[in-house]
């Protein structure tokens, strides 16, 4: 679950982002809508514990993020948060399999080839395990990045502009894939986007809660 109260973040220079309160149950979906610069990426960073709020409270998967120090935050994030960035950041020098193994290593876990294989199979890209990112199509690379994000079975999946530069059919498939993966793992899903098509693709029956973000000043 994700719960916030009077959440705000202030950048140097006086700009303040104030966010509506949200209460998303475990397994629910939160859609963050807003134009560029409205605070979507900031909200994701707060939810991932990468930024500390200037004011207010945020609780994610039962953990108050105010109580996390840096070391505790890193360990919590590695096993709780799965992040799908707009720029996928797959290592070009590594195979698909090795990219996922690197995620396990970064989380301090032993390499689990079986888990990697099962995750790639679930997302329909197991036959690509020995390819490098340059040998993947855009859709294949996105599936691999999602596999990396959910490899450690996180309780929360954060997706930043997952439909950017996709046509209508590919955008619908991307949203459906995110929802299906989150549902399969029982994870809470947060999608941050300026794309109006995403709301139409989401299933309102699974705890969908939209929220618009607007920049404000002190």
* pLDDT tens column, 109-126: 999 999 999 999 999 999
pLDDT digits (tens, 9 = 90+) for 130-159: 999 999 998 899 999 999 999 999 999 999
43, part of any domain: no
140 within a domain of the structure (yes/no): yes
Per-residue pLDDT, 215:
53
Q: What are 106's two structure tokens?
A: 């970064």
Residue ranges making up the domain that contains 163: 25-38+69-210
Residue 46 located in a structural domain: no
What mean pLDDT comes out for the span 18-36? Answer: 90
* Residue % of the chain over a pLDDT of 70: 95
Q: The domain spanning residue 185 has which CATH number?
A: 3.40.50.300
- 23-24 and 2-10 as β-strands: parallel, antiparallel, unpaired? antiparallel
Higher-confidence residue: 33 or 37?
Answer: 33
Residue 110 lies in a domain: yes
- Would you say residue 64 lies in a domain? no
53-76 pLDDT, tens digit per residue, is: 999 999 999 999 987 877 778 889
Q: Is residue 135 part of a domain?
A: yes
Is residue 4 included in any domain, yes or no?
no
Please tell me the distance from the alpha carbon of residue 218 to that of residue 30, in angstroms, as a whole number. Answer: 27
| Domain assignment of residue 89, yes or no | yes
Handedness of CA 18, 24, 27, 31 (dihedral sign): negative
Domain count along the chain:
1
Q: How confident is the model at residue 205 (pLDDT cuts 50, 70, 90)?
A: low
């Amino acid at each position: 679950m994700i719960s916030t109260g009077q959440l705000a973040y202030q950048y140097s220079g006086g700009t303040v982002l104030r966010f509506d309160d949200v209460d998303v149950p475990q397994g629910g979906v939160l859609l963050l809508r807003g134009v560029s610069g409205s605070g979507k990426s900031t909200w994701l960073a707060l939810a991932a514990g990468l930024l500390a709020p200037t004011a207010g409270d945020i609780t994610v998967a039962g953990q108050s993020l105010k109580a996390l120090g840096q070391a505790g935050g890193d360990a919590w994030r590695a096993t709780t948060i799965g992040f799908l960035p707009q720029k996928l950041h797959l290592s070009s020098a590594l195979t698909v399999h090795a990219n996922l193994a690197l995620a396990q290593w970064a989380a301090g876990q032993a390499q689990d080839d079986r888990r990697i294989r099962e995750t790639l199979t679930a997302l329909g890209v197991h036959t690509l395990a020995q390819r490098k990112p340059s040998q993947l199509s855009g859709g294949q690379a996105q599936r691999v990045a999602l596999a990396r994000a959910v490899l450690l079975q996180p309780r929360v999946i954060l997706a930043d502009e997952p439909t950017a530069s996709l046509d209508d059919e590919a955008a619908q498939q991307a949203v459906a894939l995110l929802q299906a993966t989150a549902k399969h793992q029982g994870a809470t899903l947060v999608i941050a986007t300026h794309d109006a098509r995403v709301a139409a693709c989401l299933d309102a029956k699974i705890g969908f809660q939209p929220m618009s973000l607007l920049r404000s000043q002190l």
